[in-house]
Amino acid sequence: VSDNPGASPDAAVRSYIQAQREAFLADLIEWLKIASISADPDQAGEVERSAQWLAEQLGGAGFPIVEVWPTAGLPAVYAQWDSADPGAPTVLVYGHHDVQPVDPVDLWDSLPFEPSLRDTPHGQELVGRGAIDDKGQVWFHTLGLAAHLATTGRTTPAVNLKLLVEGEEESGSIHFPELLRANRERLRADVVVVSDTGVYDRDTISTTTGMRGLIECQLDVTGPRGDLHSGSFGGAVPNPATVLARLLATLHDDAGRVTLPGYYDKVVALGDRERELLAALPFDEGRWLADAQSTATYGEAGFSTLERVGARPTAEVNGIWGGYNGPGGKTIVPSHAHAKLSFRLVAAMEPADVRSQFEQWLAARHEDATIPPGITVTATFEKSGVRPCLTPLDHPALQAVTRALGRAFGTRVLYTREGGSGPEADLGEVLQAPVVFLGVGLPDDRIHAPNEKADVEFLLRGAESAAYLWSDLAATWPRGS
C-alpha cells in the first residue's frame, strides 16, 4: 500500500473532513462536557472519566493499542497504531485532556461545561472549557487520521503513530517526566508532534521552532550577625543591602548583555533566514507594550523585541528584600539582604553550565571587591532547571509540518519562538527526539479564561494538516538508519 503522489489528495481530504464536520463536533462536545479540571482534587473523578472516554473513542477509531496509564496523580491516555510499512518513521503526538479551572463562572456567557456553537463573522466558534486547550486539538487528530486513511485507501497509517494525552498539564505536569522515563521504550519516536499551541494570528499561520529553558536561584548576602545601629556602626562596616545592589547592577553590561563568563558561548545564533521570517510576522510593538503595561522596551542591543523574547538568553531579578521595610524609618545597617534570580536559556545552553558560570561570576566579584571582606554571598539553585529546545529550520520534521500547515491553510507558514517552556522540554529530553508543533489555537481563544473557544474552521484545518503530515513524513523521512 502506498500513497498516490500522482493525484493531489487535498480536495479529497477536504471534502472528507467537511463531510465529518457534524459528527466531529458532536463527539468533541460530549468530551467537553466532562469537567476534567486537574487542579481541583474534587474533580479527580472527572479527569479519570475524561481519560476513559478518550480511550474508548480511540479504540473505536481503530487504534489497536489503547491504554489508560495511571500516574501517582491523574491518568494519561496512550494509543498506538503501527504502520504496515516496514521502515516507516514513528511519530508521537502529545496533548492533554485535563483543563483549567473555570472561575469566575459568572463571567462565562454559557456554562463552561455546556459547550455551545456560535456563529460569528469569522465562522463558527465552539465555546467551552477545553475547546482549544487542549481537547479540541487532541480530537482533531482522530479526524485527521480518519481522513488520512480514507483518502489514501490505507488500512494502517503511513507512520507508526503513537498518541500520549496527559491528564496533569494544567496543574504543572508534575508526574509527567516520571511517566516518560518509565515508558521510554514504548514511547520511542523519531519525531514528537505537540498539538497544544497556536498560530500567530488568524491571517498569519505559524509554527513554533523553539522554547526557552530556565534556571532559578536565590542569592543570600550576609554581613554583621545582627542588624546594627547605623549611628554607631554605619559607614564603618560593609552593608549587605548595598553590596547586593552593587552586585545585581553588574549582572548586565551597558549593552544589556548578561555578564556571566561564557554565558553566550553555546547560544545558537539566529540565522539570517530565521531573522527574516521573524521580522515577517505582523508584530505590533505598540500593542505588545500595551499588553505588557509598560511604556518602553528594553533589552540586549542589536536584537528586536521578538528576538529578545524568543531567541536570546536573559537574566532577571525577580525580587529583592532585606533590612527594614515597615512604616517610618529604622536606622540600621541590616544583617542580610536577598534576591531571587532567573535565567531564561536558549538552545544550546545547559542549565548546569549556567550554574557554574554564576559561581565563577561570584568568585570574580570577590576578586574585584564588588563583594568586600566581611560579606558572605551564597547562591542556592533549588532545581536542576529546564533545558531549552529548538528545531532547526532545515530539520526534515519541521519542514514536513511547514508543508502540511501550508497545504491545509493555503498560505505561507512563518515561525515563532516561545518564551516559556512546558512538558515539551521533557518530551524532547527524555525521548531524545526533535519536537515540532502542530497547533491551531488563535490569540483570542481566551485559553485559561472565561468563554474559552475554538474556531471550528481552524480545528478542521488542524485535522487536515495532520492528514497531510503523516503521508508527507512517511514519504520524506530519511530512511535506512
Instruction: List residues binding Zn ion (CB under 5 A).
Output: 133-134, 196
Question: Following DSSP, what letter does each residue of 389-404 receive, concatenated?
Answer: EE--TT-HHHHHHHHH
For residue 200, the minimal CB distance to Zn ion (Å) is: 17
For residue 79, the minimal CB distance to Zn ion (Å) is: 19
The Cα-based distances of 382 to 176, 355, 475 in angstroms read 19, 11, 45
Show the beta-strand stretches assigned E in 282-413: 314-322, 332-333, 336-345, 376-381, 389-390
69 bridge partner residues: 76
For residue 310, the minimal CB distance to Zn ion (Å) is: 19
310 or 439: whose CB is closer to Zn ion? 439
Q: How far is residue 222's CA from residue 250's CA, in Å, rounded to a whole number? A: 19
For residue 198, the minimal CB distance to Zn ion (Å) is: 10
- The number of CA neighbours under 13 Å toward the Cβ of 351 is 19
What amino acid is encoded at 389 in this protein?
A: C
For residue 445, the minimal CB distance to Zn ion (Å) is: 11
Cβ distance 109 to 451 under 8 Å? yes
172 or 226: whose CB is closer to Zn ion? 172
Question: Following DSSP, what letter does each residue of 206-221 receive, concatenated?
Answer: EEEEEE-EEEEEEEEE
The Cα-based distances of 19 to 22, 41, 147 in angstroms read 8, 39, 10
Q: How far is C-alpha 66 from the geometric centre of its chain's CA atoms?
A: 26
Cβ distance 304 to 280 under 8 Å? no
196 or 424: whose CB is closer to Zn ion? 196
For residue 447, the minimal CB distance to Zn ion (Å) is: 7
38 or 391: whose CB is closer to Zn ion? 38
13 or 126: whose CB is closer to Zn ion? 126
134 or 445: whose CB is closer to Zn ion? 134
What does the block give as the cell for 59? Answer: 479504540
131 or 430: whose CB is closer to Zn ion? 131
For residue 73, the minimal CB distance to Zn ion (Å) is: 16
What does the block give as the cell for 111? Answer: 456554562
